[in-house]
Structure 1
Amino acid sequence: MSMTRLGFLSFGNWSNVPGSLTRTGGEAILQGIELAVAAEEAGVDGAYYRVHHFAKNYSSPYPMLAAAAARTSRIALGTGVIDMRYENPLAMAENAAATDLISGGRLHLGISRGSPETSIAGYRSFGHVPGEGSVGDVRADEIDADMARRHTAVFREALTGAGMAPANPQMVGTSGRLPVTPQSPGLADRIWWGAGTRATAVWAAEQGMNLMSSTLLTEDTGVPFDELQAEQIALFRSTWAAAGWQREPRVSVSRSIIPLIDDETEHYFGLHAQAEQRDQVGILDGSRSRFGRQYIGTPDRLAEELPRDAAVLAADTLLVTVPNQLGVDFNARILAALARDVLPAVRAAVPSLA
């Protein structure tokens, strides 16, 4: 599938410091809604929000997503990503279905095991504790990643309308198991797994989930980031085909992209454009990780550079991380410039769209 869609990804950072136009959690939420409206008007295809707990970021996405849905008519609305270690799967299924119904079927939820966090095992404070167990005579306690996948399995089953709780015959006149309500047909096919490695991308394909790949991978083979991510995407697609899923999978990649279009963008990012922009390699959560380069420059320069990014060309959706503390107007301008002046060059570089 060729890259045809442009979305933004906002972390919803907020802080009461000089220069920030997003000083409170309330401002972050309201501005997130307004940016979705402005992005739709600018021709952008998706509005996605990062979820973190115990931090000055977005935490509970559904009220914001539902409000944005009520203010828009076309743009996809989603997350990138929800940490499944923290989630009650059945409550999540109810909230997600209600939000999707409000949106008219535009919800796309990115979920994952989660990333390094500000709290120590904060999911325990939410009441979620990895289980104890054994395989034969060998102790095999669940780890937090196992718990996230278990929560994911229950959540996805609930979205299909499967029975999740025993019926009370005295109340409903029948036995059997009851599904959560409401149900939103089609939502189960719009769940994305945030994969940080090639192996987790393969797992996501085996499960039948779409692939969401970020600006970093928690592995490094020495090749450039875009090539490693393109390999991840290729493995995902080949595994998907081998699994025999009947629908076409979706794949997104995230990039930090700033077009220099006016004095304000030059003021904040002009010096960065003069520096060499390249991958970074470091340690994240105990793993050697590769971080993708930033793209900062004039729209003409970006239109030359982005079509050389192997993973951008391999995906069907490009999510641009936005500096949300610079305000709605700033980010709406850069998104409009990308949609108008840069995305057409990327599309033209893809053989099936040329």
Structure 2
Amino acid sequence: MKAFGFLSFGHYSLSPAQPGPDATEMARIHIELAQAADEIGVNTASFRVHHFVPQASAPMPLLGAVAGSTKRIEVGTGVIDMRYENPLYLAEEVAALDQIAQGRIALGLSRGAPEAADKGWEAFGYQAEREDGSDLARTKWELFLDAIDGSAFAKAAPLGKQYPNMFQPGTPLPIFPHSPGLRERIYWGSGTHSSAEQTARDGVNLMSSTLVSEVDGPSLGEIQAEQIARYRAAWKAAGHGWTPRVSISRSIFPLVSAQDHELFGLESGSSDQVGHLPGVGASTFGRSYAAEPDQLIEQLKADPAIAAADTLLLTLPTGMGVDINARILENFATHVAPALGWQPNTEGPVTGYPID
């Protein structure tokens, strides 16, 4: 494990009658938690994105605020639902964010997870042929990649119509700004072996989902390890000229103090589960890890996906506030992560594992 970070689902309360922070308070928690993580030496601050539910939906303002108030930590998403996006406008936003963050982004995009809205992307003005919108997401994804790579999508107008007069008429125009090397900081969120292989062919990093659609393995870790192996083999076959990164997510709670035992001790008895998600079908959900550090280290070393990935994202209960979540990160950084090969982040983003 070369890097670790956190992934916040960011649920907030819709009314004072409900427990938990409201949207304004959750935004503050996210920024302050990222700042605390940056001081600890954590590598990545990542945020879940969903529409039509009380979670983060427009991540760029939050990511810009985090990037502008931290020094070394990467800012990212897990994941942006491409069905809802204008791919060229998103390419402009992401390039601008990459420049603000000085290359400190680890941005996850994907087809999107099951959602509360019925074809919610239609309300945003987009139509899909497939029931799950996967065709729409794929088309937009390909346009997005072309855009960040600098492809042209328009032509300069005649001089009599062009303002300001910056280009010769007919000049092919890409989107601006252009941030060189941006593709190397983009991830595709994959929940299947086949989509992981396609991710390699697309030439972007892999973000293995918090659940996977395969149910043919004894554990989430073993299924994801197979997914990662297929991704790396497909990457090697594609012959890309750089080394990618692979991230996975886990719920992990080091039990260091009496309060840790009180808050998270019951999680120690959890196990992987197979369930059914609408629009996805049978899926494997990962267990939570909760134990004292020595035991936790052995449990995590036995997880083959953690061994295969280079980045581990801890899914945090951010609704519990900054202090509790910063302590989870501090406990993991102090008592667990070094035994898995991690060192505090003192310089900025890491690179991937070499492809054998």
TM-score by length of 1: 0.91
Equivalent-residue separation in structure 1 for 2:260 and 2:272 (angstroms): 22
Matched-pair contact (CA < 8 Å) for 1:28–1:58? no
Aligned letter for 1:281?
Answer: V
1:149 correspondence with 2:144: no
Equivalent-residue separation in structure 2 for 1:17 and 1:298 (angstroms): 36
> In structure 1, what is the equivalent of residue 327 of structure 2?
333
Matched-pair contact (CA < 8 Å) for 1:216–1:289? yes
Structure 1 runs, 4 residues or longer, greater than 4 Å off: 16-20
Q: 1:213 aligns with which of 200, 204, 208?
A: 208
* Residues 17 and 220 of structure 1: CA distance in aligned 2, closer, same or farther (over 3 Å): farther
> In structure 1, what is the equivalent of residue 348 of structure 2?
none
Matched-pair contact (CA < 8 Å) for 2:44–2:106? no
String of CA shifts for 1:155-207, please: whole Å, max 9, x gaps: 11111121111211312333132111111112122110100011110111111
1:181 correspondence with 2:176: yes
Secondary structure of the corresponding residue to residue 185 of structure 1: coil
Matched-pair contact (CA < 8 Å) for 1:281–1:288? yes
Shift of residue 306, structure 1, vs aligned partner: 0.5
Q: 2:315 aligns with which of 310, 314, 321?
A: 321
Equivalent-residue separation in structure 1 for 2:216 and 2:132 (angstroms): 26
Equivalent-residue separation in structure 2 for 1:108 and 1:219 (angstroms): 25
1:245 correspondence with 2:275: no
Shift of residue 19, structure 1, vs aligned partner: 9.0
Aligned letter for 1:263?
Answer: A
Matched-pair contact (CA < 8 Å) for 1:214–1:255? no
Matched-pair contact (CA < 8 Å) for 2:155–2:169? no
Q: 1:269 aligns with which of 264, 269, 273?
A: 264
Secondary structure of the corresponding residue to residue 63 of structure 2: helix
Shift of residue 18, structure 1, vs aligned partner: 7.8
Count of residues in Structure 1 that have an aligned counterpart in Structure 2: 335
Equivalent-residue separation in structure 1 for 2:323 and 2:7 (angstroms): 16
Shift of residue 33, structure 1, vs aligned partner: 1.1
1:229 correspondence with 2:218: no
Aligned letter for 1:66?
Answer: G
> In structure 1, what is the equivalent of residue 157 of structure 2?
168
> In structure 1, what is the equivalent of residue 195 of structure 2?
200
> In structure 1, what is the equivalent of residue 83 of structure 2?
85
Shift of residue 152, structure 1, vs aligned partner: 0.7
> In structure 1, what is the equivalent of residue 125 of structure 2?
127
Shift of residue 263, structure 1, vs aligned partner: 3.5
> In structure 2, what is the equivalent of residue 282 of structure 1?
275
Q: Which runs of 5+ in 2 are unaligned?
A: 343-353
Aligned letter for 1:245?
Answer: H
Equivalent-residue separation in structure 2 for 1:11 and 1:215 (angstroms): 11
* Residues 217 and 329 of structure 1: CA distance in aligned 2, closer, same or farther (over 3 Å): same
Aligned letter for 1:260?
Answer: L
Q: 2:289 aligns with which of 276, 288, 295?
A: 295
Secondary structure of the corresponding residue to residue 164 of structure 1: strand
Secondary structure of the corresponding residue to residue 152 of structure 2: coil
Secondary structure of the corresponding residue to residue 99 of structure 2: helix
Equivalent-residue separation in structure 2 for 1:19 and 1:323 (angstroms): 16
1:345 correspondence with 2:339: yes
Equivalent-residue separation in structure 1 for 2:4 and 2:298 (angstroms): 17
> In structure 2, what is the equivalent of residue 109 of structure 1?
107
Equivalent-residue separation in structure 2 for 1:165 and 1:12 (angstroms): 38
Aligned letter for 1:284?
Answer: L
